[in-house]
Amino acid sequence: MQKITPFMWFDTEAEEAAKFYVSLFPNSRITNTTYYGSAGPGEKGKVMTVSFELAGMPVTALNGGPQYKPTEAFSLSIDCADQAEVDKYWSALTADGGEEGPCAWCKDRFGYSWQVVPSALPRLLGNPDPKKSQAAMQAMFKMKKIVIADLEKAVAAA
């Protein structure tokens, strides 16, 4: 068993969210589902927890009720190999009530924050030429979904 496992709180959507997440990422699967019994606190027979692997990382989702909501203080970051991967995850996560945010951040329809980050971004932001790295940063600040070609153009023009 992994020593640390992310634990996500949902009102009633843990199973729906887990199924959605595992459908997006390779090497992902639901590993266990538990149900509330007569001792509660949830309704007997309803899903209590869903354990799943997300790109090989174990995660647990809990249907704990409406008292806690996701916050931007916690996010999941996706390392994307190229623009096609950025586009795929961005589109899926912002669909059906998700929200675009600034600088590679978005929220899925369950309210969880994601960072959809192309692997080129740290390279461009870390350019040893300060003018080029700042050009990449300024270009990124104007974006929601990261467009690698636009960052590269900004760096080349600096």
Identify the CA nearest to 94 among candidates 119, 116, 63, 66: 116
Q: Which residues of 39-62 are buried (b: 16+ CB within 10 A; e: fewer)?
A: eeebeeeebbbbbbbbeeeebbbb
The domains spanning 1-68 and 70-158 adopt the same CATH topology: no
The pLDDT, as a whole number, for residue 127 is 95
Q: Give me the architecture of the 1-68 domain, per CATH.
A: 2-Layer Sandwich (3.30)
Burial of 87 (0-12, 13-18, 19+ CB in 10 A): middle
The pLDDT, as a whole number, for residue 2 is 78
Q: 4 in helix, strand or coil?
A: coil
- Report the distance separating Cα 157 and Cα 11, nearest Å: 48
The pLDDT, as a whole number, for residue 1 is 67
Q: Domain map of the chain by residue range?
A: 1-68, 70-158
Whole-model pTM?
Answer: 0.93
- Do residues 142 and 118 lie in contact, with contact meaning Cβ atoms separated by under 8 Å? no
Amino acid at 16: E
Other CB atoms within 10 Å distance of the CB of residue 97: 10
- Do residues 158 and 131 lie in contact, with contact meaning Cβ atoms separated by under 8 Å? yes
Q: What is the pLDDT of residues 45-103, one digit of tens each?
A: 999 999 999 999 999 999 999 999 999 999 999 999 999 999 999 999 999 999 999 99
User: Which of the four CATH numbers 3.40.50.150, 3.90.550.10, 3.40.50.300, 3.10.180.10 does domain 70-158 have?
Assistant: 3.10.180.10
Q: What is the pLDDT of residues 123-141, one digit of tens each?
A: 999 999 999 999 999 999 9
Say whether pLDDT at 24 is over 70: yes
